[in-house]
């Protein structure tokens, strides 16, 4: 019997699943695994990060742009706790990420060994599946299950704990193999049942003003073409959630853009309220998308709902047509059924209301996008980036100041994953690390991270990672010296009683230069477009520090503030 050590078996199992990149940070309990990565010929590039949290964010963004499971790793104790934010964000966003944390030896449990904690209990509520491997002979089966769990059904994040002594114990080499179909996501797709598909087609044929709201499941499933063709067949307007951006090109005649409380506008909300049938596709119909279940109003409209997870269907709305299955397969089946039913001719025009709503939205935006105010208004930043970035650029936006502006006003002209924001839990500090994963996963695309200065301070150490790797990414800091989202909430909901939200200003350009990035600072709006063009096309890591209007003074497309 040929044997491998547990650490070697882990490397070979990752290799067998066609893993090409691992993001992580070293620690004492990881030494056998690292030694195996050093000695074996495996074709895996290990990317050393400066923080386990950002290793998770990098794996998350890598998975979003490649369709491959992202892999991150870290050591025991503090490393295991630091990696949690990336794991839970990926899991709740239906992104396949494998988090590997090394651990103290099995034989040391209960003896007050440094960094001891119950990793299985820690990760259980935050992952789709989770195991600590107590014996080396369990390792190959555990890894195979991890990849099955990540990529089948509702995708998500998984965790494997790898104790120090297990990394050194023998594993039978004959048990080290993988099923290739679980190296990509989604795997083992299943469509909704035929009767539900027939009911959907009948409901769409009957509706006078159908509206489809596409969530992140459309892009994860690769259902963009099927969605566009189905929408065109029925003359159905298509709105998206923030995570669903890329479900349809936003310059398509049927595209509404983002709806909801974060990135939606009164004009696009009107289209939701006018619909007589709302078809939720690959989204949960959650609080942001529906403005706390007020648009559409429950019971006032026919609802059809398609999702890979049956548990989300009917959770928030009475559902007339429920379809549980893979989005792409189900939409393709619906399109095929509609084409063969005969009867009603396809409708190509959803009516003048869509064009009027988009014109109103564009007019309001463009008036601000031309403003010469100082500090620079955020709309001007969006317009400048729209002018300089190619259509296939990848934008990673933190969930604070950047997210509503990009969701509402930056036009995604290509379907597919070109916009990323951590919408599940909204932790600040995401984009600076995540853009590394996006750039590694899609090296030919221009990758840009946009963040507030609060987020920048939480993540700036990863600029060393960016410089070390020589990634030609651009970091954009919306600099206003405040946790703007919270201050805007204090203004709108608490009569402007501002408390503990303002912090000192920093020269982010100088900080970036100290890390070795080429950096720019912009205070004059007339210099903005030219500076961004220079930064984006420089071919080296860059940062642009833009002094901007604080969010509580701006006209952000966030419904509770507008009200």
3-state secondary structure 205-234: HHCCCEEEEECHHHHHHCCHHHHHHHHHHH
pLDDT at 341: 78
pLDDT at 351: 67
**CATH superfamily, with its number, for domain 370-562:** Thiamin diphosphate (ThDP)-binding fold, Pyr/PP domains (3.40.50.970)
Q: Does domain 194-353 have CATH number 3.40.630.10?
A: no
Query: Element (H or E) spanning 129, and its range?
Result: strand 129-132
The SS3 call for residue 130 is: strand
Q: Which residue has the higher pLDDT, 560 or 431?
A: 431
* Rounded distance between C-alpha atoms, residue 271 and residue 212, angstroms: 11
529-555 burial, b if ≥16 CB within 10 A, otherwise e?
Answer: bebbeebbeeeebbbbbbbbbbbbebb
Phi-psi region of 316 (alpha: psi -120 to 50; beta: other; left: phi over 0): alpha
Six token digits for residue 525:
């709006």
250-268 burial, b if ≥16 CB within 10 A, otherwise e?
Answer: beeebbbbbbbbbbbbebb
Residue 394 pLDDT > 60: yes
pLDDT at 280: 98
User: Can 194-353 and 370-562 be said to share one CATH topology?
Assistant: yes
When pLDDT is averaged across residues 277-290 and rounded to a whole number, the result is 96
Residue 287 pLDDT > 90: yes
- pLDDT, the chain, mean: 95
Domain ranges in the chain are 3-183, 194-353, 370-562
* Rounded distance between C-alpha atoms, residue 49 and residue 77, angstroms: 17
C-alpha to C-alpha distances, 102 to 52, 77, 141, 168, nearest whole angstrom: 12, 9, 17, 12
Q: What are the pLDDT digits (tens) for 447-503?
A: 999 999 999 999 999 999 999 999 999 999 999 999 999 999 999 999 999 999 999
Helical H segments across 93-184, by residue range: 119-123, 139-151
pLDDT at 386: 97
Residue 376 pLDDT > 70: yes
Q: How confident is the model at residue 382 (pLDDT cuts 50, 70, 90)?
A: very high
Residues 6+ apart with CB under 8 A from 153: 188, 308, 309
* Rounded distance between C-alpha atoms, residue 150 and residue 320, angstroms: 30
When pLDDT is averaged across residues 227-232 and rounded to a whole number, the result is 97
Six token digits for residue 61:
């963004």
Residue 401 pLDDT > 90: no
pLDDT at 344: 54
pLDDT at 357: 87
pLDDT at 138: 98
Backbone angles phi, psi at 46, to 5 degrees: -95, 130
pLDDT at 24: 98
* Rounded distance between C-alpha atoms, residue 9 and residue 419, angstroms: 36
Pick the CATH number of 3-183 from 3.40.50.970, 3.30.70.890, 1.10.10.10, 1.25.40.10: 3.40.50.970
Residue 563 pLDDT > 60: no
DSSP letter at 521 equals E
When pLDDT is averaged across residues 242-252 and rounded to a whole number, the result is 97
Q: From 231, 235, 199, select the one nearest 213 (Cα to Cα).
A: 231
Residue 393 pLDDT > 60: yes
Q: From 527, 509, 546, select the one nearest 405 (Cα to Cα).
A: 546
pLDDT at 560: 82
C-alpha to C-alpha distances, 25 to 13, 44, 80, 94, nearest whole angstrom: 20, 15, 11, 24
pLDDT at 317: 96
pLDDT at 491: 93
Q: From 202, 306, 193, 213, select the one nearest 256 (Cα to Cα).
A: 213
pLDDT at 554: 87
pLDDT at 348: 54
Cβ 359 vs Cβ 411: under 8 Å: no
When pLDDT is averaged across residues 245-250 and rounded to a whole number, the result is 97
* Rounded distance between C-alpha atoms, residue 381 and residue 446, angstroms: 17
When pLDDT is averaged across residues 201-209 and rounded to a whole number, the result is 95
Backbone angles phi, psi at 446, to 5 degrees: -75, 125
* Rounded distance between C-alpha atoms, residue 34 and residue 105, angstroms: 16
CA dihedral 311, 316, 317, 321 (to 10 degrees): -10
154-182 burial, b if ≥16 CB within 10 A, otherwise e?
Answer: bbbbbbbbbbbbbbbbebeeeebebeeeb
Residues 6+ apart with CB under 8 A from 86: 52, 53, 54, 55, 56, 57, 58, 59, 60, 72, 97, 99
Residue 217 pLDDT > 60: yes
Beta bridge partners of 281: 214, 306
Whether a cis peptide bond, with omega within 30° of 0, leads into 170 is no
DSSP letter at 289 equals T
pTM of the model: 0.97
Q: How confident is the model at residue 352 (pLDDT cuts 50, 70, 90)?
A: confident
C-alpha to C-alpha distances, 300 to 272, 292, 317, 347, nearest whole angstrom: 11, 15, 10, 24
Query: Element (H or E) spanning 440, and its range?
Result: helix 430-441
């Amino acid at each position: 019997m040929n044997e491998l050590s547990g650490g070697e078996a882990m490397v070979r199992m990752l290799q067998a699943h066609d893993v090409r990149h691992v993001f992580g940070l070293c620690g004492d309990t990881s030494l056998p695994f690292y030694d195996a990565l050093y000695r074996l010929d495996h074709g895996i590039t290990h990317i050393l990060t400066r923080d386990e949290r950002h290793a998770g964010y990098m794996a998350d963004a890598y998975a979003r742009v490649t369709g491959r499971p992202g892999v991150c790793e870290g050591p025991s104790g503090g490393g295991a706790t630091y990696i949690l934010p990336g794991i839970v964000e990926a899991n709740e966003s239906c992104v396949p990420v494998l988090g590997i944390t090394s651990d103290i030896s099995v034989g040391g449990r209960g003896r007050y060994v440094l960094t001891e904690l119950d990793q299985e209990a820690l990760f259980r509520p935050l992952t789709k599946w989770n195991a600590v491997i107590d014996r080396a002979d369990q390792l190959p089966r555990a890894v195979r299950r991890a990849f099955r769990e990540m990529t089948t059904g509702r995708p998500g994040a998984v965790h494997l704990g790898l104790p120090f002594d297990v990394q050194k114990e023998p594993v039978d080499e004959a048990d080290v193999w993988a099923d290739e179909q679980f190296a990509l996501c989604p795997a083992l797709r299943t469509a909704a049942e035929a009767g539900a598909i027939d009911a959907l087609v009948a409901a769409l044929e009957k509706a006078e003003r159908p509206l489809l709201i596409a969530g992140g499941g459309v892009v994860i499933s690769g259902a963009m073409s099927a969605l566009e063709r189905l929408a065109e067949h029925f003359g159905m307007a298509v709105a998206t959630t923030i995570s669903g951006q890329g479900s349809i090109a936003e310059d398509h005649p049927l595209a509404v853009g983002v709806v909801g409380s974060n990135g939606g506008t009164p004009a696009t909300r009107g289209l939701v309220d006018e619909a007589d049938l709302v078809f939720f596709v690959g989204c949960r119909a959650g609080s942001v998308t529906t403005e706390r279940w007020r648009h559409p109003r429950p019971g006032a409209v026919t609802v059809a709902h398609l999702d890979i997870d049956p548990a989300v269907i009917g959770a928030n709305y009475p559902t007339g047509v429920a379809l549980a299955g893979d989005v792409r397969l189900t939409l393709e089946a619906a399109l095929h059924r509609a084409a063969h039913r005969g009867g009603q001719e396809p409708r190509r025009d959803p009516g003048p209301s869509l064009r009027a709503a988009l014109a109103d939205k564009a007019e309001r935006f463009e008036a601000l996008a031309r403003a010469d105010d100082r500090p620079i208004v955020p709309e001007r930043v969006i317009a400048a980036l729209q002018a300089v970035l190619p259509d296939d650029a990848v934008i990673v936006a933190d969930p604070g100041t950047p997210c509503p502006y990009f969701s509402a006003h930056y036009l995604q002209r290509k379907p597919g994953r070109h916009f990323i924001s951590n919408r599940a839990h909204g932790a600040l500090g995401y984009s600076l690390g995540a853009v590394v994963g996006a750039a590694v996963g899609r090296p030919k695309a221009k990758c840009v991270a946009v963040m507030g200065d609060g987020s920048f301070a939480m993540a700036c150490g990863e600029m060393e990672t960016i410089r070390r790797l020589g990634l030609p990414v651009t970091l954009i800091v919306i600099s206003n010296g405040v946790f703007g989202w919270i201050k805007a909430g204090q203004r709108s909901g608490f009569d402007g009683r501002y408390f503990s939200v303002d912090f000192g200003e920093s020269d982010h350009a100088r900080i970036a230069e100290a890390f070795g990035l080429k950096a720019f600072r912009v205070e004059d709006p007339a210099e903005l477009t030219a500076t961004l063009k220079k930064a984006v096309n420089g071919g080296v890591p860059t940062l642009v520090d833009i002094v901007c209007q604080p969010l509580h003074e701006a006209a952000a497309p966030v419904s509770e503030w507008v009200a």
